[in-house]
Amino acid sequence: QLQLQESGPGLVKPSETLSLTCTVSGDSISGSSYLWGWIRQPPGKGLEWIGSMYYNGGTYYNPSLKSRVSISVETSKNQFSLNLRSVTASDTAVYYCARARPRAAALSESWGQGTLVTVSS
Amino acid sequence: ENVLTQSPGTLSLSPGERATLSCRASQSVSSNYLAWYQHKPGQAPRLLIYGASARATGIPDRFSASGSGTDFTLTISRLEPEDFAVYYCQQYGSPYIFGGGTKVEIK
């Protein structure tokens, strides 16, 4: 059974880089035709798709975040990561990792439980 | 830029009743790339519907969806206690956007 688990700091200072990791079990990232991605939800607000990537490098990002976001895969650990640069308080959110369907970068069919990241000094 | 507007914001119903949720796009959703998700507090969101009307794996047939172009509907034929949650529609073709959600609460 597929499981995804987010991990990383719960508190990040403004202007710094938010870094999160998603550990995948029950599927092999490198052996999969799926995409691996991130979605977030600010407190009291709706969902926002951040981006996703294939294990061999094809990436897709939300244009509104593209200049600050990078997603990478560590196949040896069966993990993928999110880096969001130059964060501000508006980046405070629950961050979810997810597996997306092939050829549908934003169609997230399996999600992790989410992790809250607060941006504050 | 496309905007997805979900209505109503909150739906108060009793178990066994029928729920009808609306998702309206300001511009046509290309290729009917429209999905519905269920989200309960503290849990991972769950994909219910993709392609506007196809149920995802393991989704009970009391969940159905329809629509095309700019108007989409999610119907829960008979609400079970576990169905009370927030439901989001999403356009998963560019731009990749979610609606604001409809909360289905127990009356």
Q: Provide the pLDDT for residue B2.
A: 87
A62 to chain B, any CB pair closer than 8 A? The answer is yes
pLDDT band at residue A72 using 50, 70 and 90 as cut-offs: very high
Supply the pLDDT for residue B4: 96
pLDDT, position B25:
96
Helix (H, G, I), strand (E, B) or coil at A109: strand
pLDDT on residue A32 = 80
Integer CA distances (angstroms), B31 to A8, A57, A93, B68, B69, in order? 37, 26, 31, 9, 8
Question: Encoding tokens for residue A93?
Answer: 């959110």
Q: For residue B11, give the H/E element and its range.
A: strand B10-13
pLDDT digits 0-9 by tens, A76-89: 999 999 999 999 99
The answer for B 32-71 residues in CB contact with A (under 8 A) is: 33, 35, 37, 39, 42-47, 50, 56-57
Q: Which amino acid is at B23?
A: C
| A10-53: pLDDT as tens digits | 999 999 999 999 999 999 998 889 999 999 999 999 999 999 99
pLDDT range class, residue A54, cuts 50, 70, 90: very high
pLDDT tens for each residue of B82-92: 999 999 999 99
Query: How many interface pairs between A and B have CB atoms less than 8 angstroms apart?
Result: 56
- DSSP for A90-105 reads GG-EEEEEEEE-TT-T
Which of B35, B45, B101 minimises the CB distance to A111? B45
How far apart CA A97 and CA B97 sit, in angstroms, is: 17
Predicted local confidence at residue A57, as pLDDT: 79
Average pLDDT value for residue range A57-74: 93
